[in-house]
Structure formats: structure tokens, C-alpha cells
Structure 1
């Protein structure tokens, strides 16, 4: 069953697995590759056994990153992703901190992943790293050239960590992302729960026929409320034993509780 089909049923939880620093990271606390693999495989196993619907790999340990992912990032993400894929029976996704549409598609193709998450897919955002422009063209071009049509694109149309350059017409941006830029699903996240709800309402009125996901801010305290707003939910910190430590082990009990809350009466 494809990830889009599963998303349409609702209550779909995507657990973000924050990968520790690769051996080529600019950070001083770099991890050996085998240790990164062990961490990722164990975390993915815990998520799956606890009922999380999908695992999303992200190279958080590579911060600070480039506007374009360097070859070593693509290589290490592919190696780790292949090992994680071997232990999963649930969908696997790829996302990169680097603002790059082509690299996540390349990694997903190499790994056999089911989807990618692409931030700042359309429009332009001003962030602490500078000006980021929509990378939809290189994303869909790479998917076509690599023969990766089976990889679905889940696209953010707003980044709560930045400020849009221009008017914030979420309905127009969402329509462009789906109708012209081939996004298979939309990730919508405001700076607060109220803003997230407002954005989702605006986009829902466009009747675009693709799954809508909340990209952050969902936890055990608000899951019952948030599950009414979208079909998919991307969660990260609240799944860890220590939510303030990016590389803390995954807490199976937290995964299990959140998964049940998001599914509600769908189980």
C-alpha cells in the first residue's frame, strides 16, 4: 500500500529520526559511521514496533549545512538509509537540512525510500541562513531523470522558522505546488497551533485532492485536538527519551502513546 493511500485514511504518524553527525560533519562531536548506523537502525525498530506509521530520516547532525548537499552527505545518507530500510516494513522517507531538491530524490532512489520531504518547495523564505527560493524544479526534474517516479513528494509551502518574501496566500501557494509543481502531499505548519489551523482551513477550501500533513508542534498534550485538522503528522522531539537532546534514544512508550492518540478511533 502506497504512503499516499495510507495518508488518505488519516491518523498517519511520521517519526523523524534525527541522525547524529556524520564523519564529515563540521561539528567537533562527529560520530563514526557504524555508530550512526546502529543508532538509526535501533531508533527505526523502536518506532515501528511502537506503532509509528512511517520513519523519516534527517541529517540533523550535519548542521550547519549548505544550500546544496555535498556529495558526502548524499553518500552517508544513502548508506544509513539502506540499512534502515532493511529492518522496516513501514514507509521510509528522506529529508535533508540542506536546501536542495535533487539530493533527497537521489538518496531516496538509492535507498528505495517511499517519499521525500522538501521544505521551501515554492515561493521564497528569508531565514537565518539567508534567502531560500523554491526548489520545485530541480526536485521534479531529478525525479524524472533518475527514474524515481515511485518517490512521492511531500512539500512544505511555509516554513515556521522563516518569513515569506511576499504575500502569504497559502491557498495560491498550495494550488501552485500541486497543480503546476506536482507535489503529492502538502505539509502545513504555522508558528502556533492557531496559525496551523488557519493555514489548513485556507488550503482545505482549495479542494486539491492531496493529503494534508502538519509538519511540527504535535505532541501528547495536543494530539487529540490536532488529529482533527489533518491526515498526517510529522513528529520528532516528543518521541525521544530526552526531548531536548537531538540524539537521545527513541522512547518506545512515547511513540506508542502518540501513535494511539493520533489514530483515535481509526484503529
Structure 2
């Protein structure tokens, strides 16, 4: 993947729009207008601050479902991303938490967003939502069926999770790219806000062999 084609730079900084609780989530407040207003404020602030792209995620829907989200979440996120595209000219991506890559891909394809983040594309991870299995085989076929060119950014040994197998970082990166067909990989620390260490970043970059590596 050539990052310059998507972000106009080979070292893009992607800002996150953390959506307030959406319909059907545990903390849903009853006003989609309030969610949209907050998302618009965050997106315009990020764009003014100079980021190279934006990713929209249902961050405040915790506790998350581990697989398919409710249709109301898909509808709300579709509407919100469409509104944001009218406000900012930056590339936009989606992360439908905890691991609903199919919904993310469907939304992105319909609103012409550029990328999605997938927390578990390959392998099996023990998470606070339970056991999550990667569905790369299904997701890549779905992208082909949609005729979509949305890029797939996949976490490797994703935060807030532990692999059930004894795989090492090098093998995990290679499998995610070569067997999961990720367009880029994401390396993070143990939890939200914790960066990866430099040694792991160097290992991941070497294993990626030219495929973009993002710091999550």
C-alpha cells in the first residue's frame, strides 16, 4: 500500500473521533443529535490541528459486543461519517468496536470512506469481551463482493487482549500481512493510550517488509 495515495504523506497522523454512546449501547443518552454535534466538533478540531486523516469509532459504546453490532449502530455511524465528509476533506476511516469489520467495511464502502481498522483480523485473542476469532477469510471475500477498494488496517496482538497461542510478534505481523492480506498493520501497547516499545516497533517494521506499520 502506498500511503501517499491515501494520505498525501508517507507518515500520516490519524486523529480519532470518539463517538458518544450510540443507540442500543448501555449508556445511550437518547439524542443522536448530541452525538452528531460532538463528532462534528471533534472532526473539525482535528482537521484544524493538522492531522492527515480521521478515524471514527464507537468508543463510548462499552461494554462492547464482540462481533456484529446492532443495526442501529450501523445506521448511526453511516449517518455520522456522511456528515463528517461534508465538513472535512481528509481521508476518513472506521473502527466498529469490538471487532465488527464487516459492518465497518459496509459503511466505508457505502459512504466512500478510505479505510477501516480491524482489531482481530487473524488468530484467536482472549479479550474482555470473550474469545474473538479473526475472520480474514470472510472479510476479504466480502470486500471483493462489494467491489470495494477500502483499505484494511489490522492490529497485531491488539491491546486489551492476549493471544491464545504462543505466537511471537514477528510471526503475528507476517501472518496478518501474508495470510490475512492486511493493507497495513497497527502496533499498540497493552491498553488505550499506552504506546508500543521501540524494540517491538523495530521488530514489527522489519517483519512487515515494506507494508505500512502504524503506531496505535
- Common fold, TM-score beyond 0.5? yes
Contact 2:23 2:72 in 1 (8 A): no
Instruction: State how far apart, in whole Å, the 1-side matches of 2:124 and 2:83 are.
Output: 35
Contact 1:158 1:190 in 2 (8 A): no
Instruction: State how far apart, in whole Å, the 1-side matches of 2:187 and 2:31 are.
Output: 35
Instruction: State how far apart, in whole Å, the 2-side matches of 1:178 and 1:55 are.
Output: 23
Which residue matches 1:52? 51
Instruction: State how far apart, in whole Å, the 1-side matches of 2:71 and 2:122 are.
Output: 24
User: 1:125-154 deviations in whole A, cap 9, x for unaligned?
Assistant: 111211111122232122111121x21110
Which residue matches 1:94? 94
Relative contact order (alpha carbons < 8 A, sep ≥ 6): 1 or 2 greater?
1
User: 1:31-82 deviations in whole A, cap 9, x for unaligned?
Assistant: 4112211111121111111101111100122222222122111111101110
For the aligned residue pairs, the C-alpha RMSD in angstroms reads 2.0
User: 1:3-34 deviations in whole A, cap 9, x for unaligned?
Assistant: 5546694441111111001233222x514112
Aligned residues: 211
Q: Is there any run of 5+ residues in structure 1 with no aligned partner, and where?
A: 216-267
Q: Is there any run of 5+ residues in structure 2 with no aligned partner, and where?
A: none
Instruction: State how far apart, in whole Å, the 2-side matches of 1:170 and 1:85 are.
Output: 36
Which residue matches 1:70? 70
Contact 1:188 1:196 in 2 (8 A): no
Instruction: State how far apart, in whole Å, the 2-side matches of 1:54 and 1:31 are.
Output: 29
TM-score normalised to structure 2 length? 0.89
Instruction: State how far apart, in whole Å, the 2-side matches of 1:180 and 1:60 are.
Output: 28
User: 1:178-212 deviations in whole A, cap 9, x for unaligned?
Assistant: 1222211110113365x532222222223532111
Instruction: State how far apart, in whole Å, the 2-side matches of 1:209 and 1:182 are.
Output: 14
**1:63 to 1:75, Cα distance in 2 relative to 1, 3 A:** same
TM-score normalised to structure 1 length? 0.73
Instruction: State how far apart, in whole Å, the 2-side matches of 1:204 and 1:12 are.
Output: 16
Instruction: State how far apart, in whole Å, the 2-side matches of 1:196 and 1:209 are.
Output: 20
Which residue matches 2:152? 153
CA shift for structure 1 position 87 = 1.2
CA shift for structure 1 position 101 = 2.2
Which residue matches 2:83? 83
Which residue matches 2:215? 214
